[in-house]
Amino acid sequence: MKNKLVADIFREIAKLLELKGENPFRIRAYEKASQNIESLTQDVEVFAKENKLTSLPGIGQDLANKIKEIIKTGTLTQYEKLKKEVPKGLLEMMEIPGLGPKTVKLIYEKLKIDSIGKLEEAAKSGKLRKLDGIREKTEENILKGISLLKKGRERTPLYLALKIAEGFLEPLRQMKEVEKIEVAGSVRRRKETIRDIDILIVSKNPSEVMDKFVNLSYVREVLAKGETKSSVRAGENEIQVDLRVVEKESFGSALMYFTGSKAFNIKLRQLASKDGYKINEYGVFALTKGKEKKVAGRTEEEIFELFKMPFVAPELREDRGEVELALKNKLPKIIDRKDIKGDLHVHSKYSDGTSTIKDIALYAERMGYQYVGICDHSQGLKVAGGVSVKDVYAKIEEVRKINRQLKKVKVLCGTEVDILNDGSLDYPDSVLKEFDLVIAAIHSGFKQPQHQLTKRIVSACKNKYVHVIAHPTGRLFGVRDSYEIDFDEILKVASDYQVALELNCFPQRLDLNDINCMRARAKKVKIALGTDAHILDQMLNMDLGVSVARRGWLEKEDVLNCWSLDKLLKWLKK
Ligand code: DGT
Ligand code: CA
């Protein structure tokens, strides 16, 4: 699978072009292509073989040829040439969140700084601020960015970790030697970033399993191989994967222990000791007269039962109050994937998506949905194929026609309208009122001061046609942190004006995150799940969004997508 390789080269080209001050449209084209290919769940080589590359979003004939060259040769002539024109360290410097190409160029040209190390030193000693256009604040931001970058490299985003984990689970599950297999740790809890992947198995013949494990094709390096535990580094980002063999009789306690979180384990241990029990990865033991007797451990269920708790979903096990609630049998009834009745953010060919509305609707039908919101970009967002007012009316007509043809799925004609710099929206109210679903989002000016960004979102909430604020905090894994907004203020206004906040399910976004979902829930602000799919396949990222919603304690009432079509329509019309 060469998806990551292609995505990486395109991303680097975009950066190199930026450093050279090239045309922003061209740069954006490479960035988009990179993102789309990276999040593709199918193998890009298959598309190449079948001559279907141009069916992918943002891939024209030119990029298709380049992808073929990368698949064939492992690199790209144009890329190799560009790399020679720009010092290597500058590219790395551009990975520092918040540091743009102009500043990198300036720093390089004036101070000959061409590595992150040198940059950190110069920022710490206050040398940068002597340059024109660099303030003390910029220097601080650079240092913050460097630490963010270092942190980011230690952890892998959930979607990649899940892919790698599945790459191990699937072949091992098929072995007759494997009786039970389960992923534990932060992957099972669906935490948004993962340090390492923990897998547990039960087997009567572990050495066969270990042999297979260390020889799987994704393994880059074998760190340790033993009878009961092996560790490898896997995948392009070389994440560590640990495989442990445990006893069948203590599988439940091992699974619970290695699922964590650590804070949850500690909480449970305290609880156990108060009741006169000892709990560890081997089981729960009753202590009587100095003697230990195992009383539970085969399954997690029997352990929870012993402590008079309902089953606590792994996504909740963070010691955020769930243990106390479980003891009172008052855990939130968090949503489940099967509660989702529709996707509220999908792009069609009208903007920068690859599929027709009809195909999206049919796909939604196959996913068992009752509705799907087609929210294309608005007129001013030219780089993303924003829809002109004239085409908005054509789209509305088309949606009506499709809705007459389809029985099971209702298409909601929507827009992802751009929130402009002054907080106004990129369509006039006379156009906005024609949509079934209006989600508003910020796509530029991420570095504005907090009060300005907050004000933009607040004014969008106050527009009576806006239903949802999309990707409200703007974070993009590995690219930028959330932008500075006063989230409490936004929650207050969203609650006052009954605007929902999106939980964008795009793998690099997951925005709102779990904590912000909890905060929204506490203020009774509704959440809308949207995959932001540009390819049909990406609609499957709903799973990721659901796991964030579960971590955020969301219940059916909190999530628009869990509502029936009637209830949703009523809310949208209000
Ligand atoms: P990460 O950092 O993404 O790998 O997160 P986890 O939660 O997978 O952490 P990891 O791999 O260090 O450990 C897996 C689980 O093992 C963790 O969730 C809880 C358990 N664990 C690890 N260290 C301790 C500890 O010192 N005390 C207790 N009670 N449990 C621990
Ligand atoms: Ca782990």
DSSP assignment of 48-100 equals: HHTT-GGGSTT--HHHHHHHHHHHHHSS-HHHHHHHHHS-HHHHHHHTSTT--
> Are residue 8 and residue 51 in the same domain, yes or no?
yes
> Are residue 517 and residue 463 in the same domain, yes or no?
yes
Final residue belonging to a domain, choices 286, 302, 327: 327
> Are residue 360 and residue 453 in the same domain, yes or no?
yes
pLDDT at 91 over 90: no
Contact 16, 22 (CB under 8 A): no
> Are residue 394 and residue 512 in the same domain, yes or no?
yes
Q: Which bin fits 452, alpha (ψ -120 to 50), beta or left (φ > 0)?
A: alpha
pLDDT tens per residue across span 522-552: 999 999 999 999 999 999 999 999 999 999 9
Mean pLDDT, to the nearest integer, of 204-214? 95
pLDDT at 201 over 90: yes
User: Which atom of ligand 1 is nearest the CA belonging to 193?
Assistant: 3
Task: Identify whether 525 is part of a domain.
Answer: yes
Tokens of 92: 């790395």
Residues flanking ligand 1, CB < 6 Å: 185-186, 191, 194-196, 198, 257-258, 260-262, 265-266
Q: Which ligand is nearest to the CA of 197?
A: 2
Contacts with 151 (C-beta within 8 Å, 6 or more apart), sequence order: none
> Are residue 344 and residue 465 in the same domain, yes or no?
yes
Q: What is the pLDDT of residue 75?
A: 93
> Are residue 130 and residue 175 in the same domain, yes or no?
no
Mean pLDDT, the chain, rounded, equals 93
Task: Identify whether 250 is part of a domain.
Answer: no
Instruction: Report the nearest-CA residue for atom 15 of ligand 1.
Output: 258
Task: Identify whether 82 is part of a domain.
Answer: yes
Classify each residue of 428-455 as buried b or exposed e, where b means 16 or more C-beta atoms within 10 Å of its C-beta: eeebbebbbbbbbbbbeebebeeeebbb
User: Which atom of ligand 1 is nearest the CA belonging to 186?
Assistant: 8
Question: Residue type at 561?
Answer: N
Contacts with 10 (C-beta within 8 Å, 6 or more apart), sequence order: 30, 31, 33, 34, 37, 63, 66
Final residue belonging to a domain, choices 217, 245, 273: 245
Instruction: Report the nearest-CA residue for atom 25 of ligand 1.
Output: 262
Contact 302, 308 (CB under 8 A): no
> Are residue 261 and residue 341 in the same domain, yes or no?
no
User: Which atom of ligand 1 is nearest the CA belonging to 155?
Assistant: 3
**Domain containing 214 — which CATH number?**
3.30.460.10
> Are residue 295 and residue 356 in the same domain, yes or no?
no
pLDDT at 131 over 90: no
Q: What is the pLDDT of residue 157?
A: 92
When pLDDT is cut at 50, 70 and 90, the band that residue 152 belongs to is: low
CB count in 10 Å sphere of residue 53: 22
How many structural domains are present in the chain?
A: 4
Residue scoring higher pLDDT (463 or 97): 463
> Are residue 182 and residue 212 in the same domain, yes or no?
yes
| 257 SS3 class | helix
pLDDT at 35 over 90: no
Final residue belonging to a domain, choices 245, 280, 312: 245
Q: Which ligand is nearest to the CA of 268?
A: 1
> Are residue 238 and residue 263 in the same domain, yes or no?
no
pLDDT tens per residue across span 243-298: 999 999 999 999 999 999 999 999 999 999 999 999 999 999 998 887 899 999 99
| Domain assignment of residue 394, given as a range | 337-572
